[in-house]
Amino acid sequence: MTRAEREVLRGMVLIPGGEFRMGAEDSEASPADGEGPVRVVRLDPFHIDACAVTNRQFAGFVKHTGHRTDAERHGWSYVFDGLLIPAGRAHVRPGTVPGATWWRPVDGAFWRSPEGPGSSVAERPNHPVVHVSWNDAEAYAGWAGKRLPTEAEWEKAARGGLDGARYPWGDELTPRGRHRCNIWRGDFPARHTGHLGTCPVNAFGANGYGLYNVAGNVWEWTSDRWSTGWHRADTPRTRVNPRGPDDGDSRVIRGGSYLCHHSYCNRYRVAARTYNTPDSGTGHMGFRCAAG
């Protein structure tokens, strides 16, 4: 292995090839999101980042490439209302998201100022970078000599070797009363008793493969386009690929975020999935990379 190859694989873990059962059909599964049916998927071995890409890592990418994120080009991004500081509130645009009024469009919110003007990631170098779109994540991955994981790769890695478990650590959300991920604790969105916003990428314990925070903290982009149907496909990396109604160019996101709560969004389960447009990058959107 060359020095350059070793550098690419630094911070990554090897996921063994073989078959695994993907998806869910239990009482908490969402058929409307295309989580089922449970199907057998065969993958070749691959590497994946143990942690989501951090603010420090993304800053290095920006320094070397001059990359401007979609949020910077748009001039604004969505920020959770409970995280806004007074300076940021002065830059809130009119309007809210239907059904999710806790999201506020903020001028000047982007990865380096995630709560808008006056905020900074200077004291959060090991937190996941946010306000990154699929386009931004693709650009970073290419610069790093990597790629975004497929949806099947992401799920196999997140399962950590467990077969059919609801979470990366098993079937109980808080085994023995211990919290294992960064999701909303308390009454959403009024009262919170855990992390408010992101936590360090290596917080909590790793799963069986050595991945951190594949449940909660930030949503993670995958390479796959969104759909809710499945068909057989003859590709070497995954034997089952999604296909269904034409949903445009939206991409699958996985893992849930610090805003997930069972009262309205239990997508911090391993099989849970949703999507966003490739130029969207809100205050709870991040990513990790794959290789091989």
**Per-residue pLDDT reduced to its tens digit, 187-219:** 998 888 888 999 999 999 999 999 999 999 999
Segment among 85-99, 157-171, 211-225 with least mean pLDDT? 85-99
Distance CA 101, CA 85 (A): 17
Asked if residue 290 lies in contact with residue 46, where contact means CB atoms within 8 angstroms, the answer is yes
Q: Rounded to 5 degrees, what are φ and ψ at 135?
A: -60, -45
How many Å apart are CA 24 and CA 272, to the nearest integer?
Answer: 8
Whether 227 and 33 have beta carbons less than 8 Å apart is answered as: no
Residue 220 tokens read as 């993670």
pLDDT at 246: 44
Residue 139 has pLDDT above 50, yes or no: yes
> What's the mean pLDDT when you consider all of the chain?
92
CB within 8 A of 178, min separation 6: which ones?
Answer: none
Phi then psi for residue 234, to 5 deg, are -95, 75
CATH of the domain at 40: 3.90.1580.10
Pairing of strands 39-43, 285-286: unpaired
> Could you give the number of structural domains in the chain?
1
What pLDDT, on a 0 to 100 scale, did the predictor assign at position 234? 34
**Model confidence pLDDT, tens digit, residues 45-59:** 999 999 999 999 999
Quote the tokens at residue 142. 């290419």
- Which is nearest to 241 in space by CA: 42, 44, 45? 42
- pLDDT at position 179 over 50: yes
Give pLDDT, residue 41.
97
Task: State the average pLDDT over residues 177-192.
Answer: 92
Reported as a pLDDT band with limits 50, 70 and 90, residue 37 is very high
pLDDT over 80 (residue 81): yes
Segment 227-260, tens digit of pLDDT: 887 544 433 333 344 443 445 699 999 999 999 9
pLDDT of 5 above 90: no
* Per-residue pLDDT tens digits for 260-278: 999 889 999 999 999 999 9
| Domain range enclosing 179 | 3-291
The average pLDDT across 142-163 equals: 98
289 pLDDT exceeds 70?
yes
Q: Which H, E and C letters describe the chain, residue by residue?
A: CCHHHHHHHCCEEEECCEEEEECCCCCCCCHHHCCCCCEEEEECCEEEECCCCEHHHHHHHHHHHCCCCHHHHHCEEEEEHHHCCHHHHCCECCCCECCECCEEEEECCECCECCCCCCCCCCCCCCECCCCCHHHHHHHHHHCCCECCCHHHHHHHHHCCCCCCCECCECCCCHHHCCCCECCCCCCCCCCCCCCCCCCCCCCCCCCCCCCCCCECCEEEEEEECCCCEEECCCCCECEEECCCCCCCCEEEECCCCCCECCCECCCCCCCEEEECCCCCCCCEECCCEEC
Q: Which tokens is 260 given? A: 């997930």
